[in-house]
Structure 1
Amino acid sequence: MQTITSTQPVVSLRNALAFGLCLICYLLGGTVSTLLSVYLPVAIPELLQTSVSEAEMGRIGAYLNSAFIYGWMLGGLTLGIVSDRVGRLKTLAFSTGLYGLFTLCIVFISDWHILLACRFIAGIGVGGVLLISTVYIAEIWDEKTRPIALGILAVAFPVGIILAGILNVQIPYWKHAFWLGVLPVTLSLVLPVVLSEPAQWKDARKTKAVDMHTIFSPEYRRNLLIGGLIFGSVLIGLWAVFSWVPTWVQSLLSNTSDGQKERGTVMMLFGMGGIIGGIVSGFLIRAMGTRYTLLFTFSGCIVACIALFMNKQFSPVIYIETAVLALFFGISQGTLSSYIPALFPTSIRATATGFCFNIGRFFTATAVFFVGNLVSVVGGFNNALLLFSSTFIIAWIVAFYNREVNEKTPE
């Protein structure tokens, strides 16, 4: 008995350390993902060394925002495979160092094309971190408390968005904020020293992995389409808003305002809404079921987007409408994190879920690109954002015609 008692705290401390480090990697990934968006209206004019029209801001911002998400998709697809081959920990350390290094490089650039390359490579790193840190914790954590641990880990991303908003408010000069990259670079050096590979990964190397083609079998094809459509539709609307709302807010302000406070506050509201919504989603699923929670959430997203983007000038009501939209965004992400994996049996769950998530990111990156380029065509950022927010209608329709997952999902 004494041996068990003395050994158990050591294991718990090791897992707690691993969780804490993964949480920080995940959180900083959320900050890096949204940091350029909040500074975009001031970064682009400085790099071009001239004033920038709304159309030009939209064009360049489209390249920058979509490049990051394309990189995120590539990282999620390729680094997941790499981690299966060379190890979770090595790949996590590499991914963390990658997004940290190329975030840090932005401090020293003077050309937006180099900024584009830095954001693409940083996106690869973030995509790897969000996937591998989740897998790593899932493989080392006790089965009974694993959902709680993974739920807390997922909340770290919106906390990172709040940090991006705080940095925007507190640091006037945009390049200084990107010194943040020092933290993930340091973490990438610490991770291999203090952590070890999960025993599950070591054991899994002895067995044959699931063939990627298995998920396209006739019995899984319908759910694969459902998962990809719902997640992709939601992600398009969500990231179109995340990427362009700070620039839209700036466009509503008078030329005498630098918009630093307003842009930062809006991003902090999105982060806080994500946290609260993620927590609330579990209670809603328990009370209403997954399908009805999704229908309620997508309805809320549609109404909130219409209310928000109908504004023609900035007023405090925008903060209230942003908070409501952020809450529905958070609920949607919390619900989908349990809904999509439940569409598939255990044998292909990780592979199929990863496919749905990253195909969704491909369409998201493309949509974010077109939001910026359509600004002059549709008559401003508000109309472009309204147009791409309509993807929540697609998600609602797919959820409406699909049954509750626990009615048909094999285990």
Structure 2
Amino acid sequence: MQNKKNVTLLIIVAALGYFVDIYDLIVFNVVKKQSLQELGFTGDALKANEIFLFNLQMTGMLLGGLLWGIMGDKKGRVSVLFGSIFLYSLANILNAFVTDINQYAIMRFIAGIGLAGELGAGITLVAENMPKEKRGYGTMIIVTFGALGAVVAGMVGKTFGWQTTYIVGGGLGLTLLLMRAGAYESGMYQNLLHNSEIKRGNFFSLFKKWSLFLKYLACILIGLPIWFAIGVLINLSDRFALAHGLIEKIDIADSVMYAYLGLSVGDLASGLLSQYLKSRKKVIFVYLVLSVSLMFVYLFNTNVSVEYYKYMCFGIGFGTGYWALFVTIASEQFGTNIRSTVTNTVPNFVRGAVVPITLSFSSLSKTMGPINAAMWVGLCCLALAFLATLYIKDSFSKDLNYFEID
């Protein structure tokens, strides 16, 4: 009974942590235009700095995913929960007081590093502490509730100024630290500590065996369509509206809010369907087909309005609502001594992949326009995800109490 209460508390703490994490991750996309305008940017310079700052934040997440992942295997999962949230909360508070683009860039990079640790540590802890047949419920709750952080970020951003929106996010994170006192390491990790001969958090071990490397790469590729949708279709929805001839202005904060509301519902549905079918892969395939269908409707339906974009952003979010399954799959594919490293780096490498994705989109847009550019970049991401899902083994109810030996 006590263990059940501990697991429940762990899920609640991880879900709240991811809620704040998503708030602080998305807050830039909500307030970017207002904040950059107040710093004196307009026109093409504003658009260029939007992409520059967003890519810098994602680059920070690439580095942070590696740092926090290795730390989680070497020092413990709980230490990552504390360290990551403190760093990104502090960075977001300081972000409210920037006065030029260089300060803004530094804060987004530091925030990106901090944001990289929350999800992986929470998913790893829950996956290792819950029964193997039910851990999908735990990860589903974390991501479903956590995705609502973007909805709150959108609401706060529309109600208050950009400085206040950043301060609220940082304040929520620092408040959450008080709840982390009850977090504890998993029995699997404690067992790992008693095996001193087993190497922990050796990132390069993933590249020593061809089979491990391909499995690791496949885990990353599965998530590409999610961040293509967020980084291009949602974050740049105002550009697609303009290309469709819509005169009314699209509010990016609304696009983000509706997309993440759809993502939350989609993750709930995919998690429940996975438990019902007792399969992760089958559900991923369903969502990939749904994603490509919605992408074509979104890009090529010219009978559009502001309300249409809200509905489509919700639909795009729902169609890519397999983030919980994607991260759970990564956690289940590898042994305890490298699990934190994988579970932290995989989602953050996918988030970091938004840099080449957006750069490819921007480059192709110059010659073929935003609609066709988004279609070809999206199809590439979806094809890679489909092939990667075919490659991996279904890990539903897999026993996770094992080590990866060099």
Cα drift, residue 107 of structure 1: 1.4
Deviation per residue, 1:184-209 (Å, 9 max, x gap): 12333x25644455554344222223
Aligned to 1:390, what secondary structure does the other structure show?
helix
Equivalent position to 2:297, from 292, 307, 327: 307
Change (3 A) 1:333 1:90: closer
Deviation per residue, 1:231-276 (Å, 9 max, x gap): 345434443334333676689898886x5xx433322221221122
Asked whether the equivalents of residues 121 and 344 of structure 2 are also in contact (C-alpha less than 8 Å), the reply is no
Q: Which amino acid aligns with 1:133?
A: G
In structure 1, the residue matched to 2:142 is 153
Equivalent position to 2:74, from 65, 85, 88: 85
Asked whether the equivalents of residues 156 and 165 of structure 2 are also in contact (C-alpha less than 8 Å), the reply is yes
In structure 1, the residue matched to 2:351 is 361
TM-score, length-scaled by structure 2: 0.81
Task: Name the CA distance, whole Å, in 1 between partners of 2:386 and 2:77.
Answer: 38
Q: Which amino acid aligns with 1:123?
A: G
1:220 maps to 2:212: yes
In structure 1, the residue matched to 2:22 is 30
Cα drift, residue 126 of structure 1: 1.1
Asked whether the equivalents of residues 259 and 315 of structure 2 are also in contact (C-alpha less than 8 Å), the reply is no
Asked whether the equivalents of residues 148 and 261 of structure 2 are also in contact (C-alpha less than 8 Å), the reply is yes
Deviation per residue, 1:143-196 (Å, 9 max, x gap): 56433222211223311111122223322x2222112111212333x2564445
| 5+ residue gaps, structure 2 | 401-406
Equivalent position to 1:206, from 179, 184, 194: 194
Change (3 A) 1:30 1:365: same
Change (3 A) 1:103 1:383: farther
| 5+ residue gaps, structure 1 | 1-7
Equivalent position to 1:21, from 13, 38, 46: 13
1:176 maps to 2:183: no
Asked whether the equivalents of residues 86 and 174 of structure 2 are also in contact (C-alpha less than 8 Å), the reply is yes
Cα drift, residue 325 of structure 1: 1.4
Asked whether the equivalents of residues 89 and 191 of structure 1 are also in contact (C-alpha less than 8 Å), the reply is no
Change (3 A) 1:100 1:311: farther
Change (3 A) 1:292 1:163: same
Task: Name the CA distance, whole Å, in 2 between partners of 1:23 and 1:241.
Answer: 26
Cα drift, residue 17 of structure 1: 3.7
Deviation per residue, 1:279-328 (Å, 9 max, x gap): 22145445595545333322322232232234666432222222221111
In structure 2, the residue matched to 1:316 is 307
Task: Name the CA distance, whole Å, in 2 between partners of 1:166 and 1:339.
Answer: 32
Asked whether the equivalents of residues 65 and 369 of structure 1 are also in contact (C-alpha less than 8 Å), the reply is no
Task: Name the CA distance, whole Å, in 1 between partners of 2:233 and 2:131.
Answer: 37
Q: Where do 1:92-103 residues align within 5 Å?
A: 92-103=81-92
Please identify the structure whose Cα radius of gyration is greater.
1
In structure 1, the residue matched to 2:317 is 326
Q: Which amino acid aligns with 2:315?
A: V
Asked whether the equivalents of residues 121 and 343 of structure 2 are also in contact (C-alpha less than 8 Å), the reply is no
1:118 maps to 2:142: no
In structure 2, the residue matched to 1:265 is 254
Asked whether the equivalents of residues 58 and 355 of structure 2 are also in contact (C-alpha less than 8 Å), the reply is yes
Task: Name the CA distance, whole Å, in 2 between partners of 1:291 and 1:246.
Answer: 34
Task: Name the CA distance, whole Å, in 1 between partners of 2:20 and 2:380.
Answer: 28
Q: Where do 1:290-305 residues align within 5 Å?
A: 290-305=280-295
Asked whether the equivalents of residues 278 and 333 of structure 1 are also in contact (C-alpha less than 8 Å), the reply is yes
Tell me which stretches of 4 or more aligned residues in structure 1 moved more than 6 Å. Answer: 250-256
1:44 maps to 2:36: yes
Task: Name the CA distance, whole Å, in 2 between partners of 1:106 and 1:249.
Answer: 30
In structure 1, the residue matched to 2:403 is none
Equivalent position to 2:119, from 130, 139, 143: 130
Task: Name the CA distance, whole Å, in 2 between partners of 1:360 and 1:117.
Answer: 22
Equivalent position to 2:327, from 321, 337, 341: 337
Task: Name the CA distance, whole Å, in 2 between partners of 1:345 and 1:197.
Answer: 16
Cα drift, residue 65 of structure 1: 0.8
Task: Name the CA distance, whole Å, in 1 between partners of 2:337 and 2:386.
Answer: 29
In structure 2, the residue matched to 1:239 is 231
Cα drift, residue 335 of structure 1: 3.9
How high is the sequence identity, in percent, across the aligned residues? Answer: 18
Q: Where do 1:47-86 residues align within 5 Å?
A: 47=39, 49-50=40-41, 52-53=42-43, 55-86=44-75
Moved more, 297-306 or 118-127: 297-306
Asked whether the equivalents of residues 250 and 263 of structure 1 are also in contact (C-alpha less than 8 Å), the reply is no
Asked whether the equivalents of residues 233 and 360 of structure 1 are also in contact (C-alpha less than 8 Å), the reply is no
Asked whether the equivalents of residues 37 and 242 of structure 1 are also in contact (C-alpha less than 8 Å), the reply is no
Moved more, 30-39 or 240-249: 240-249
Q: Which amino acid aligns with 2:292?
A: I
Aligned Cα root-mean-square deviation (Å)? 3.5
Asked whether the equivalents of residues 232 and 357 of structure 1 are also in contact (C-alpha less than 8 Å), the reply is no
Change (3 A) 1:289 1:316: same
Cα drift, residue 84 of structure 1: 2.9
Aligned to 2:57, what secondary structure does the other structure show?
helix
In structure 1, the residue matched to 2:404 is none
Task: Name the CA distance, whole Å, in 1 between partners of 2:337 and 2:184.
Answer: 25
Moved more, 340-349 or 176-185: 340-349
Change (3 A) 1:378 1:287: farther
Asked whether the equivalents of residues 233 and 374 of structure 2 are also in contact (C-alpha less than 8 Å), the reply is yes
